[in-house]
């Protein structure tokens, strides 16, 4: 086990290639983690397929949604099962000290700034590693919990940033992947939740897990959808003001719809990413006295709260995760691009040592 094995991206849309090198040694402030699992994220697809530039030049090992076991590092972490935050801040700069560590300009992101999680091991700064309690591993495998690093922590942060309160109406646009966790977290926080998507299957699963109402937006214009939301808001006993809108789809139609659903004192949070531009009338924000906010990942300080949410049983994630051998990475990426999966894919190292 003195070899580091990685599946690396060498060029846009090309197959990942398996490379081997000497296993690195952790220095001060670092930990070497044996990877249990790494989730496949829309951001990975953006790097691999859409031409979004990575900070580190190719070839690069992608993957930032990582769980594993510390095999080298400080004594208090050695042997511990951990989640590696998708954004690793410095902890010392102005933004970190102001509680905005997720936007640290010295941040390091696995699979972007340095080689990431589609590998046997990863060398990372150890400061913000989030321990996983042994009790949680009685319910979930360590690889399943890798999705905490982005798919769950990202919507958790945005729900807190939006100042969502019990009794609010939360409208989730896009409930595949990250969005369905956003819907479930909003419900846990006491909101009445409406899920909007173009997939009946995704909407049915969201409803099955407690979302209060759903709308299939396929073929409907924004005015028709807004009228349906108003009807549902009345049925659910929520206010016609102050809607909390969350755009998770990362599509032009989804973002256009989200902006058009803004009403008096609304808060619109943008979580999904697209390279496409959108034409909107920003004066709507003034006219409705509304807020528009963005969110980037999740600051590591919130990770223990996310772990507690799952450990307490309030948030169940098993129905939304599927695992594949890491050796199938090329097939999994192509299938994910073609929307063939309805769960978050986690790649599990299957190397022979």
Give the pLDDT of residue 1: 58
Neighbours of 284 (CB within 10 A): 16
If asked whether residues 48 and 115 sit together in one domain, one would say yes
Residues 237 and 302 placed together within one structural domain of the fold: no
Q: Is residue 189 part of a domain?
A: yes
**Does residue 19 belong to any structural domain of this protein?**
yes
- Identify whether 353 is part of a domain: no
Last residue of a domain, one of 256, 277, 294: 294
- Same domain for 205 and 66, yes or no, is no
Residues 281 and 307 in one domain: no
Alpha-carbon distances, residue 229 vs 106, 172, 183, 193, 225 (angstroms): 42, 11, 15, 11, 6
- What is the full DSSP assignment across 93-131? SHHHHTT-GGG-TT-B-BTTTB--SSBSEEEEE-TT-EE
Q: Does a structural domain hold residue 181?
A: yes
DSSP bridge pairs for 67: 37, 83
137 and 14 share one domain: yes
Are 248 and 318 members of one domain? Answer: no
> What is the DSSP track for 291-351?
EEEE--S--GGGHHHHHHHHHTTSS--GGGEEEEEGGGHHHHHHHHHTT--SSEEEEE---
Domain boundary among 278, 294, 310: 294
Does 249 reside within a domain? yes
CATH classification at residue 331: 3.90.180.10
Tell me: do 27 and 141 sit in the same domain: yes
Same structural domain for residues 26 and 73? yes
**Domain assignment of residue 78, given as a range:** 3-150+298-348
Confidence at residue 177, expressed as pLDDT on a 0 to 100 scale: 81
Q: Which residues of the chain have pLDDT under 50?
A: none
Query: What total number of domains does the chain contain?
Result: 2
DSSP 204: H
Q: Which of 279, 294, 309 is the C-terminal boundary of a domain?
A: 294
- Residue 259 covered by a domain: yes
Can you give the pLDDT at residue 273?
A: 85
Instruction: Answer yes or no: do 9 and 141 share one domain.
Output: yes
> Would residue 86 count as lying in a domain?
yes
User: What's the pLDDT tens digit per position in 170-203?
Assistant: 999 999 889 999 999 999 999 999 999 999 999 9
Residues 233 and 321 placed together within one structural domain of the fold: no
Is residue 214 domain-shared with residue 259, that is, in the same domain? yes
Say yes or no: 133 and 82 in one domain: yes
Note whether 263 and 241 are within 8 A (CB).
Answer: yes
| Whole-structure pTM value | 0.93
CATH number of residue 186's parent domain: 3.40.50.720
Q: Cis omega before residue 135 (within 30°)?
A: no
């Amino acid at each position: 086990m003195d070899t580091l094995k990685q599946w690396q991206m060498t060029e846009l849309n090309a197959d990942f290639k398996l490379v081997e090198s000497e296993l690195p040694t952790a220095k001060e402030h670092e930990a070497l983690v044996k990877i249990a699992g790494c989730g496949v994220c829309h951001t990975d697809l953006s790097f691999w397929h859409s031409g979004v530039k990575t900070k580190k030049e190719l070839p690069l090992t992608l993957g930032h949604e990582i769980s594993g076991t510390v095999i080298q590092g400080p004594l208090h972490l050695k042997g511990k099962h951990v989640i590696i935050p998708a954004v690793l801040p410095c902890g010392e700069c102005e933004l970190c000290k102001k509680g905005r560590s997720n936007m640290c300009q010295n941040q390091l992101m696995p699979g972007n700034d340095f080689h990431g999680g589609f590998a046997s091991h990863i060398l990372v700064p150890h400061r913000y590693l989030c321990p996983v309690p042994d009790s949680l591993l009685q319910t979930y495998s360590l690889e399943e919990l890798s999705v905490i690093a982005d798919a769950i922590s990202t919507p958790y942060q945005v729900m807190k940033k939006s100042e969502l309160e019990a009794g609010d109406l939360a409208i989730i646009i896009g409930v595949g992947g990250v969005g369905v966790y956003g819907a479930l977290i909003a419900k846990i926080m006491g909101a009445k939740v409406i899920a909007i998507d173009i997939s009946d299957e995704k909407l049915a699963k969201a409803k099955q897990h407690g979302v209060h109402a759903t709308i299939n937006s396929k073929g409907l214009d924004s005015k028709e959808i807004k009228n349906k939301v108003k009807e549902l808001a009345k049925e659910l006993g929520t206010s016609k003001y102050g809607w909390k809108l969350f755009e998770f789809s990362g599509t032009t139609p989804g973002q256009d719809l989200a902006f058009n659903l803004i009403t008096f004192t609304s808060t619109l949070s943008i979580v999904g990413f697209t390279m496409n531009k959108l034409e909107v009338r920003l004066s709507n924000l003034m006219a409705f006295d509304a807020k528009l906010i963005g969110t980037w990942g999740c600051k590591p300080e919130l990770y223990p709260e996310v772990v507690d949410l799952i450990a307490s049983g309030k948030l169940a994630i098993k129905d939304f995760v599927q695992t594949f051998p890491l050796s199938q990475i090329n097939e999994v990426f192509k299938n994910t691009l073609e929307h063939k999966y309805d769960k978050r894919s986690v790649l599990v190292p299957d190397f022979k040592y």
